[in-house]
Amino acid sequence: MHEIDSHTAVCGLLGYPIGHSVSPAIHNTLSERLGINMVYVPLAVEEDKLGTVIVGADGWKFPGMNVTIPYKEKVIPFCSELDPFAEKIGAVNTLVRQEAGGYKGYNTDAPGLYRALKEEGMDPLDKEVILLGAGGVAKAIAVLMVEKGAKRVYILNRTVEKAESLAAECNRIAGRDLVIPMALSDYKELTGSGYLAIQATNIGMFPKEDAVVIDDDAFYEKLDAGFDTIYNPAETVFMKKCRARGKKAVNGLKMLLYQGVIAYELWNNVSVPDELADQVYEKLCGILGTGK
Ligand code: NAP
């Protein structure tokens, strides 16, 4: 790590509580390898202090912060401006300090996922996409799918009203009826095959890793490939079921990596070389004790 001195810039992760996070490993490794004098630390902040902390960070000229649960929406009133994509989805996971002071809010979760999907040969362009979930991350993914040219998007969620309001918002953005809301149990109504499925619920996450959002093997038969936003465990039941049917399946670790890389690039006005991103990915696999 760069010697900490009077010029060391501070960035960090705003959330509460902040459990185990690999974000410090992403950013501190990038700084070390790029020779950038920056440290990244967890910033656990209780909700009534969120605004105070952001004003303080501005005073200290922190170049930026990531924002995680439960503040991705709550941080918006404290942003001096919003990137148009973050504004569209109403969720910010990255704050970038502006020259004149204040923080501009971005969302790098969705572009991080897009970069991971492209790298894995899962480009949503002209694909029929099944999105499982309608929570915070699913919202960003749904808008991304619309913007990146998916042929049709089916949003399946336990609470069907949430799928309906998300689909309505996406269709408003798309200017046509591209997104169809459904109940989780309605997967049987999806005919044909070749779907790209993106798993964006909490189901299957450590420590409840035996769970899966749709159990029926017939569902997996319809897929071309499956992307799980979960990265711990490295192979979820959703992924196992895809693979058992001979379908490609990928976890969310590259999504996590690239949302961090994109944030780092915004804070430091640099471009992270692909080989370095690969090295950070290897490091994350080591930390999580997972294979690639
Ligand atoms: P969230 O806003 O709390 O949404 C949770 C989603 O899971 C909702 O759609 C919810 O359905 C569904 N769900 C929860 N419990 C369920 C159950 N028992 N049965 C059926 N559905 C259930 O969470 P989020 O922030 O969007 O996070 C979702 C996932 O994204 C998590 O698994 C997280 O690990 C992953 N993630 C990955 C990355 C990455 O970089 N790889 C980054 C952020 C998040 P209802 O609407 O019916 O409640």
Give residue limits of the domains in the chain.
9-107+254-288, 111-251
* The pLDDT of residue 207 is above 70: yes
Give the bridge partners for 41, in sequence order.
12
From the alpha carbon of 139, which atom of ligand 1 is closest?
A: 26
Residue 37, burial from CB neighbour count under 10 angstroms (0-12, 13-18, 19+): middle
Q: What percent of the chain has pLDDT over 70?
A: 99
**How many angstroms is it from 246 CA to the middle of ligand 1?**
26
- The reply to whether 111-251 shares the fold of 9-107+254-288 is yes
pLDDT for residue 136: 87
The CATH code for residues 111-251 is 3.40.50.720
Half-sphere exposure of 130 (CA within 13 A, CB side): 31
**What is the DSSP code string of the chain?**
-PPP-TT-EEEEEEESS--S-SHHHHHHHHHHHHT--EEEEEEE--GGGHHHHHHHHHHTT--EEEE-TT-TTTTGGG-SEE-HHHHHHT---EEEE-TTSSEEEE--HHHHHHHHHHHTT---TT-EEEEE--SHHHHHHHHHHHHTT-SEEEEEESSHHHHHHHHHHHHHHHTSS-EEEEEGGGGGG--SS-EEEEE-SSTT-TTSTT--S---HHHHHTEEEEEES--SSSS-HHHHHHHHTT-EEE-THHHHHHHHHHHHHHHHT----HHHHHHHHHHHHHHHT---
Q: How confident is the prediction for the chain on average, in pLDDT?
A: 96
Q: Are 130 and 190 in contact (CB under 8 A)?
A: yes
Overall average pLDDT of the 49-69 stretch = 97
**pLDDT-derived band at 291, boundaries 50, 70, 90:** low
Q: What percent of the chain has pLDDT over 90?
A: 96
109 lines ligand 1 (CB under 6 A): yes
| Phi, psi angles (nearest 5°) of residue 270 | -125, 170
* The pLDDT of residue 292 is above 60: no
Q: Pick the residue whose CA is nearest to atom 27 on ligand 1.
A: 137
Which of 108, 132, 162, 201, when mutated, tests ligand 1's pocket best, judged by the most ligand atoms within 8 Å of its CB? 201
**How many angstroms is it from 95 CA to the middle of ligand 1?**
22
Q: Pick the residue whose CA is nearest to atom 6 on ligand 1.
A: 201
pLDDT for residue 19: 85
**How many angstroms is it from 208 CA to the middle of ligand 1?**
13
Which of 74, 115, 155, 158, when mutated, tests ligand 1's pocket best, judged by the most ligand atoms within 8 Å of its CB? 158
pLDDT tens, position by position, 27-57? 999 999 999 999 999 999 999 999 999 999 9
Instruction: List b or e across 241-257, with b for residues whose CB sees 16 or more CB atoms inside 10 angstroms.
Output: bbeeeebbbbbbbbbbb
Overall average pLDDT of the 89-110 stretch = 96
252 lines ligand 1 (CB under 6 A): yes
Active site residues: 72
**How many angstroms is it from 135 CA to the middle of ligand 1?**
6
pLDDT for residue 126: 97
The CATH code for residues 9-107+254-288 is 3.40.50.10860
**How many angstroms is it from 8 CA to the middle of ligand 1?**
36
* The pLDDT of residue 1 is above 80: no
From the alpha carbon of 138, which atom of ligand 1 is closest?
A: 26
CA–CA gap between residue 163 and residue 156 (Å, rounded): 7
pLDDT tens, position by position, 102-161? 999 999 999 999 999 999 999 999 999 999 999 989 999 999 999 999 999 999 999 999
134 lines ligand 1 (CB under 6 A): yes
Q: Pick the residue whose CA is nearest to atom 11 on ligand 1.
A: 158
CA–CA gap between residue 72 and residue 97 (Å, rounded): 17
Structure tokens, 101: 């002071």
Specify the pTM.
0.95
Q: Pick the residue whose CA is nearest to atom 41 on ligand 1.
A: 252
Q: Are 266 and 105 in contact (CB under 8 A)?
A: no
256 lines ligand 1 (CB under 6 A): yes
